[in-house]
A and B are shown apart, each in its own frame.
Chain A
Amino acid sequence: MSGLDYTRQEMMAIATGREIRDGELAIFGVGLSMLAGFFAQAHHAPNVRTMTEGGVYGATPVGGLPWGIECNRISSNATSFTNAIDALGFLVASGRCDVGIIGAAEVDKFGNVNTTGIWEGPIGPTFRPPKTRLTGAGGANDIACGAKRTIIMVSHERKRFSEKVAYISSPGYLEGGDARSRHGFNGGGPAAIVTTLGILRPHPETREFELASWFSFSNIEEIKANTGWDLKLAAGAHEAPEPTADELAALRRVDETGALRKKG
């Protein structure tokens, strides 16, 4: 143990940020994914070129967690500011974006993401309305299709980790194997699912997500128990390094209102 006091949400944000490399063109959604991305910029990737779905480039949040892709907290110090047609329609769609961070309400073993709804029983061919309606695909579908790689952030609960999602809002590797490549997307698919307990990565051939790392406060058994498919252990699976004091300080500079410290 490092002796540092941090929350699971903070660990998830730091582990996600570690996936971002210096100099990349990166697109973030709202909330947690934005904090993870700007943590990377504050810590180890000072030259990351950040953008949001709304076309805000080169900004860092001011005054706390931005609540939207264009709110004043994110747009006030942008180096340029275009719009969603440019950000998603051109930069992401054309394959120029290196990495995107997206959230999920539900994710499955091939990294497909549901942000549309929760149904009881099969949806059926007539598409009946869900029991619980969620936001919808938004821009995440396009990031999932167009970014060279995506990182999915999701709280690790069994109800969120399904053998097969009820509804694919944003594609991962679809039915696995080479299913994704048949659809001609410019982007490569999810490179990692970073959770509140650990990190899952796709098997290079089957594309099934496997446990690559667990956080120090978790373990393999806990993660398997909270995953809705028979989670395999990836080759070389290991415990993820704990946050360093520098990492935690950088994250908390970005998360100045403490959004990640309010939850466990």
Chain B
Amino acid sequence: MRDPGPVSVNALAGSIPDGARLALPADYGGVAMAATFALIRRGARRLRLFGVPTSGLQTDLLIGAGAVETLETAGMALGESGVGPRFRDALRAGGLVVRDSTCPAQHAALQAGEKGIPFLPLRGILGTDLLAGRQDWPVIRNPLAGEADPDPIVLIPAVRPDVALFHAALADAAGNVWIGLRRELATLAHAARRTLVTVEALHPGNLLEDPLMAPGTLPHLYVAQVAVAPGGSWPLAFGESHPADDGALARYSEAAKTDDGFAAILAEWLR
């Protein structure tokens, strides 16, 4: 059920329970950073993160804040600054479980989830070491292939995240959310049990009634809660209107190399 009307960012983040399987977009895909700060402020724990399809600053922050138990992702990087420093430290300390994946495997899991089917077969991955770490990815013989053709194929089990959280440009009073070209967010919202969205602004009127906006609109059926958070992706970019704060990102990459440095920059950003 959708809550009526927009809620506060704190209320939205507060509805994400400890232990949730939480799906998050890549750094370029509309990251709800304001809500992430709220999630860290409330002391979230044992989150099981699912990258759509890769992970970056948001995940590094959550790991550093002690909120993450497992991370399933196709890749982890802070732009050109390399692997996230808190992610790297957590791996060294041994407290973080990482389940390596690939970009289409992450999307395929959600595509199976949105359809309500148990798995999606995916070409590729065979012969790599990814399979060694993924006992949950069976390899079968294509049942439609001829007798003489072994045609092995990997099955990616469906994923239905407990919560999807992302940032978008617009929502209307009905709870429709304009995602524009970010169609993977529609797949994510279809698969997730609850989808929480922060938006730059509220749209007057109904997005689905505007023929130019409707094709890029996620219907409210798939949206549980909306909060208004202008600039809510900071310091990450959001479309053309909000370029990345390169200075802040560079400062984070450097500061987060140490526990003290991370604590200081986190405290500053949470203020």
A, B from the same assembly: yes
**Contact surface of A with B, Cβ cutoff 8 Å:** 30-31, 53-55, 67-72, 76, 81-86, 88-89, 93, 116, 123, 125, 127, 129-130, 133-139, 141-142, 144-146, 167-171, 174, 179-180, 182-186
User: From B184, which residue of chain A is reached at the shortest CB distance?
Assistant: A83
* Bound CA–CA A163/B212 (angstroms): 55
Cβ–Cβ contact A138 & B124, under 8 A? no
Contacts A136-B76, A169-B130; A182 near B28 (Cβ below 8 A): no
The contact of A170 among B94, B104, B128, by CB within 8 Å, is B128
B170 within 8 A of A: no
B200-226 to A contact mask, C-beta < 8 Å, 1/0: 000000000000000000000000000
Q: Is the interface of A mostly helix, strand, loop or mixed?
A: loop
* Bound CA–CA A231/B123 (angstroms): 32
* Bound CA–CA A136/B111 (angstroms): 22
**Contact surface of B with A, Cβ cutoff 8 Å:** 27-29, 53-54, 73-77, 79-80, 82-83, 87-88, 91-92, 94, 98, 100-104, 107-108, 111, 122-130, 132-133, 142, 150-153, 181-184, 187, 237, 240, 243-244
Residues on the B chain within 8 Å of A89, using CB: 104, 107-108, 111
Contacts A67-B80, A88-B104, A184-B126; A83 near B153 (Cβ below 8 A): no
Residues on the B chain within 8 Å of A116, using CB: 100, 129
Cβ–Cβ contact A142 & B240, under 8 A? no
Cβ–Cβ contact B108 & A141, under 8 A? no
Residues on the A chain within 8 Å of B79, using CB: 67-68
* Bound CA–CA A183/B80 (angstroms): 33
User: From B52, which residue of chain A is reached at the shortest CB distance?
Assistant: A84
B12 CB, nearest partner CB in chain A, Å: 24
Contacts A53-B103, A138-B102; A93 near B124 (Cβ below 8 A): yes
Cβ–Cβ contact B240 & A76, under 8 A? yes
Cβ–Cβ contact A134 & B107, under 8 A? no
Cβ–Cβ contact A136 & B75, under 8 A? yes
* Bound CA–CA A168/B150 (angstroms): 22
Of A135, A146, A170, the most chain B CB neighbours within 10 A belong to A135
* Bound CA–CA A69/B77 (angstroms): 13
Residues on the B chain within 8 Å of A84, using CB: 53, 103-104, 107, 184
Residues on the A chain within 8 Å of B124, using CB: 93, 141-142, 144-146, 171, 185
